[in-house]
Amino acid sequence: MVEGIGRGRPRSESARAAVLHAVDDLLVEVGYASLTMKGIAERAGVGRQTVYRWWSNKAEVLYEASVLDAQHELAVPLSGDARTDVEVYLNALIAFLTRSHAGAAYRALVGEAQHDPDVAVLLASRDILGESATAVVDAARAASGTALSAEQAIALLIGPPFFRILSGHDADDIDPKALADQFMRVLDRP
């Protein structure tokens, strides 16, 4: 990647970091609804235009600020036993969606995507949740010899808790063990 001939002052990496850091902080302090581009810039000690220069809206900043954390929180080590791994993953997923800051950011983005096409495109460009489940799901599929595609299996695994949490049910009512059972049952038969 060449990036032209590199004329002009180069982008300030410290400004970039300050913005992402400010978003992380503000998300916790004031919540997504009260997160403003103005507030982010001021908190980061950065000009407003600098934020707009590199991210076109607050969804993009939030995405970049949160996506790495999300991947980290949803990464589960494979034990070799598919049933166990699925349950461990489900626990991580539920914790992410209900208790994690990065998860709150992710839910906010999903929310925004429902009425902002730009955010929808941004979100669709990288299926964070789906990616996180891939390893676990592939292992389970391989072990079971199911005919389900990876995509189908992923939706089957993530969908039920995703639906209950985003539509406002009490997260405590979700039983990861039972969900894991149901998931394995679908896979276990041709």
Partner DNA sequence: CCCTAATCGAGACGGTACGTCCAGTCTTGCA
Partner DNA sequence: TGCAAGACTGGACGTACCGTCTCGATTAGGG
Residue closer to a second copy (CB basis): 17 or 28:
28
| Lookup: tokens for 19 | 């913005």
Q: Any contact of residue 145 with a second copy (CB under 8 A)? A: no
Q: Any contact of residue 5 with a second copy (CB under 8 A)? A: no
Residue closer to a second copy (CB basis): 20 or 176:
176
* Residue 189 C-beta: closest distance to a second copy, Å: 6
Residue from 43, 83, 107, 141 in contact with a second copy (CB under 8 A): 107
Given a second copy, DNA, none, residue 16, with its beta carbon under 5 to 8 Å by kind, binds DNA
Burial state string for 174-190 with b = 16 or more CB within 10 A and e = fewer than 16: bebeebbeebbeebeee
Q: Give the C-alpha separation, 116 to 60, whole Å.
A: 12
Let me know if 155 is exposed, middle or buried by CB neighbors in 10 A (0-12, 13-18, 19+).
middle
CB 6 within 8 A of CB 21: no
Residue closer to DNA (CB basis): 55 or 106:
55
Residue from 50, 91, 134, 146 in contact with DNA (CB under 7 A): 50
Q: Any contact of residue 49 with DNA (CB under 7 A)? A: yes
Cα angle 129, 134, 137; round to 5: 115
Residue in this structure with the two tokens 């080590």, named with its chain if needed: 77
Residue from 29, 131, 159, 177 in contact with a second copy (CB under 8 A): 159
- Of 67-96, binders to DNA (CB under 7 A) are none
Q: How many CB atoms lie within 10 A of CB 164?
A: 18
Contact window for a second copy (CB under 8 A) among 64-72, 82-90, 136-144, 166-174: 166-174
